[in-house]
Amino acid sequence: MKKRKSILTLIILSLALVLAACGGNGTENGNGEQQGSDSSGGNGATSSIIIATGGTTGTYYALGGALAVNIEQKTNINSSAQSTGASAENMRLLRTGDVDLAFTQGDIADYAVSGSIMFEADGAIENIQGIASLYNETIQIVVAEDSDIQSVEDLAGKRVSVGAPGSGTEANAEQILEIYGMTFDDLGRADRLAFGESTSFIQDGSLDAAFVTAGTPTAAVNELAATRGVRIVGLDDSHIADLIDQYPYYAEEIIPAGTYSGFDEEIKTVAVKAQLVVRSELEEDAVYEITKALFESIDALGSTHEKGSHISLDTALEGLSLELHPGAIRYYDEQGIQR
């Protein structure tokens, strides 16, 4: 009897030791894998990320969805793309840790880390680092094909969408009007709408024009071109030079003829760089794998949206003023890219 009790005691002690060894501070998922409270698995490696994009009719959303698929295919990181209010909102989502990766305009990233313009009230965002510059985002002043608006000055007294509230497009609209000696008060009405809403309201006649900052061709503008017809209002050389002199992150840009259906002449305007940025807390190995997946997926991204084919290692650091994430640095060093 005593022998049986001793054996039973040994079994209980052994079970207790096994349970203690398997225990931890996190919880287990359905596969029995240890999970913490963040996006890291039990081995400390990043297991999932969220990519902040933009509105569903914009370039960010198309490319973000394709990038998420390719990250999943090329790494062990689960990835999903989230529709957002685009650049400025994406920076705030990185600050709070609600997303891990984000598309943004280069000028907006600069405002975020310096705590200026739309970030002045809340202060600088300190946990943003760069991965790559992607392509030029074109500032398009969109009107219906039969509109009488021929110049920026003609926007005076008109109903104009200046972009979603607090967006990069809104900042671009304000700065371009400023160079022409105008403000939002000079417009008949300044509406703050997403791209899809803007072109829909131009189509039904309740809006005269819209500022759209996005890679061309832009889905929302394509839809307008296919229905009512579209024109892009150009900027003249003198005002382009003044704009670049005052805000050096702009560059002259040509929208080629044929970009949109019925669009038979090239238009001169300006552009800013689209960039992919990351929450600085994200683990180095994960960002290395994400950066590698980005540049190994250019063909797939290009088949999703024409701007995807503009992504290149040769231009990855152009206009990128942010500090690079160590994971991105490791990848560029491997590729022999000079920083």
Q: 142-165, pLDDT tens digit by residue?
A: 999 999 999 999 999 999 999 988
Q: In the predicted model, is pLDDT for residue 206 greater than 80?
A: yes
Same domain, 228 and 306: no
* Cβ contacts of 62 within 8 Å, gap of 6 or more: 219, 304, 305
**Per-residue confidence (pLDDT) for residue 248, from 0 to 100:** 85
**Per-residue confidence (pLDDT) for residue 24, from 0 to 100:** 35
**Distance between CA atoms of 53 and 312, rounded to whole angstroms?**
20
Domain boundary among 224, 256, 272: 272
Provide the domain count of the chain: 2
> Is residue 30 domain-resident?
no
> Is residue 26 domain-resident?
no
Could you tell me if 41 and 33 are in contact, meaning their C-beta atoms sit under 8 angstroms apart?
Answer: yes
Q: In the predicted model, is pLDDT for residue 7 greater than 60?
A: no
Same domain, 235 and 159: yes
Other C-beta atoms lying within 10 Å of the C-beta of residue 44: 10
Tokens 């022999």, residue?
Answer: 336
How large is the C-alpha radius of gyration of the chain?
Answer: 25
Q: In the predicted model, is pLDDT for residue 303 greater than 50?
A: yes
Same domain, 72 and 143: no
Domain boundary among 272, 299, 325: 272
Tokens 């209002």, residue?
Answer: 233
Q: Which domain holds residue 127?
A: 48-135+273-335
The secondary structure element, H or E, covering residue 141 is strand 128-144
Best mean pLDDT range from 33-37, 68-72, 82-86, 212-216: 68-72
Rounded percentage of the chain residues whose pLDDT exceeds 70:
87
Please give the structure tokens belonging to residue 301: 């991204």
- Which tens digits make up the pLDDT trace of 39-66? 554 445 789 999 999 989 889 999 999 9
**Distance between CA atoms of 226 and 249, rounded to whole angstroms?**
32
119, 111, 114, 84: which is closest to 99 by C-alpha? 84
**Per-residue confidence (pLDDT) for residue 40, from 0 to 100:** 53
The arithmetic mean of pLDDT across residues 256-285, rounded, is: 95
Same domain, 185 and 306: no
Same domain, 125 and 150: no
How buried is 243 (Cβ within 10 angstroms: 0-12 exposed, 13-18 middle, 19+ buried)? buried
Q: What is the pTM of this model?
A: 0.79
Q: Show the beta-strand stretches assigned E in 154-208.
A: 159-161, 189-191
Domain boundary among 257, 272, 287: 272
CA dihedral 123, 84, 320, 280 (to 10 degrees): 60
The arithmetic mean of pLDDT across residues 82-91, rounded, is: 94
Same domain, 178 and 209: yes
CA dihedral 251, 279, 212, 61 (to 10 degrees): 120
**Distance between CA atoms of 81 and 305, rounded to whole angstroms?**
15
Same domain, 252 and 184: yes
Other C-beta atoms lying within 10 Å of the C-beta of residue 251: 14
Tokens 């009007």, residue?
Answer: 177
**CATH code, domain carrying 320:** 3.40.190.10
Reported as a pLDDT band with limits 50, 70 and 90, residue 121 is very high
Could you tell me if 142 and 171 are in contact, meaning their C-beta atoms sit under 8 angstroms apart?
Answer: no
The amino acid present at 158, given as its one-letter code, is K
> Is residue 37 domain-resident?
no
Task: Estimate the crossing angle of helix 219-227 against helix 195-204, to 10 degrees.
Answer: 10
Same domain, 66 and 212: no
How buried is 77 (Cβ within 10 angstroms: 0-12 exposed, 13-18 middle, 19+ buried)? buried
**Per-residue confidence (pLDDT) for residue 339, from 0 to 100:** 85
> Is residue 314 domain-resident?
yes
- Which tens digits make up the pLDDT trace of 225-244? 999 999 999 999 999 999 99
**Distance between CA atoms of 271 and 215, rounded to whole angstroms?**
9
